[in-house]
Amino acid sequence: MNILKYILKRIIQIIPLLFIVSIISFFIIRLSPIDPLAELRLNPSISKETLQKETQRLGLDKPIPVQYVKWASAFVRGDLGITSSGEKVSDKLKERIPNTLLLTTIVIFMTWSVGIPLGILGAVYHKSQFDRLLTVLSSVGMAIPSFFFAILLLIFAVKTSLFPVGGLTSFDFDEMSFSGKILDLAKHLVLPVTVLFTISLAGLQRQMRANMLDVMDSEYVKFARAKGLSEFKVIFKHALRNALNPMITLLGFEFAGLLSGAALTEYVFQYPGLGRLILEAVMKSDINLVMASLMMGSIMLVLGNLLADILLIITDPRIRNGSQ
């Protein structure tokens, strides 16, 4: 089986998973006693015709299984409905998803750029003062709840006015030069990136250190040392390649963890991302927005895991040969 066939097989496996997620999410939301169109009914700018159209589109006068079928068929066609404020759900998703992907991509890049080298150094200098310091710092990082850390940084930002709080850009963003826009964007990203980076770095560094220690104690590494190879070649040619493979597998889970952790972080800093959008939609009982956001979040999660699987096949010849 070549790589393309493997990707196709994984995509086929994803479809029933998304189907199950949609069923569970829809039934949980619809079994609640809250009227899904309550916000629309309270909005004076929404006409009766629009309310009637949404009622018919969602099938609210029909049994819940029929409502799910109507919603699912509309979702497949790309008809996501309107929000409680009368906006198109698709427009809200197009606005928020790129922001969450930007935040998540930056955090993953920074975490791996710092966490992998620190994990390697911690294993190479095992039981040294440097390794003990890394262990203490990573334990502290893993112990701090992301929400609590975000609140602390929010208070710091408000007290010092060093970083902007809320939004992704300033009100005069369009009037800035190109370099000014980059700087303004970076300033708005500092706080949410710092929270997610700190929490993610601690776990990644400890995992990489544990993998390296396990590999460096293996027989083939001892054999490489016995052959007289330099410590540099032993670590980076033999040990590192095998220690990195489990980390690639964790990439998909890290992506999922960042998306879930980003929801609270986005909400605290009022960052316009998908996580904040889901939380606000749930509080408003906006069924169209909740379901569309949950499905898009689920699609992003499974695609992240698919990407990790593909990278593992490319980097590990044992798995690649086994899939052929």
Residue ranges covered by each domain of the chain:
3-76, 89-322
* CA atoms within 13 A of residue 83's CA, in its CB half-sphere: 19
Sorting pLDDT into bands at 50, 70 and 90, what band is 189? very high
Query: At residue 247, what is the residue type?
Result: M
Residue 282 has pLDDT above 90, yes or no: no
Candidate ranges 38-47, 62-71, 77-86; pick with highest mean pLDDT = 62-71
- Phi, psi (degrees; rounded to nearest 5) at 88: -70, 135
pLDDT digits (tens, 9 = 90+) for 124-138: 888 899 999 998 988
The residues that bridge with 88 in the sheet, in sequence order, are 82
pTM beyond 0.85: no
Sign of CA dihedral 111, 114, 116, 122: negative
pLDDT digits (tens, 9 = 90+) for 236-255: 877 887 888 788 877 777 77
Rounded to an integer, what distance in angstroms lies between the CA atom of residue 197 and that of residue 111? Answer: 6
Chain-wide mean pLDDT for the chain?
A: 83
Phi-psi region of 228 (alpha: psi -120 to 50; beta: other; left: phi over 0): left
CB 122 within 8 A of CB 135: yes
Rounded to an integer, what distance in angstroms lies between the CA atom of residue 26 and that of residue 59? Answer: 13
Residue whose tokens read 């979702």: 75
Number of other residues whose CB lies within 10 A of the CB of residue 141: 18
The CATH number assigned to the domain with range 89-322 reads 1.10.3720.10
List Cβ<8 Å contacts ≥24 apart for 33-38: 34/285, 35/285, 36/60, 36/285, 36/286, 36/287, 36/288, 37/287, 38/84, 38/285
- The whole-number average pLDDT for the span 138-149 is 85
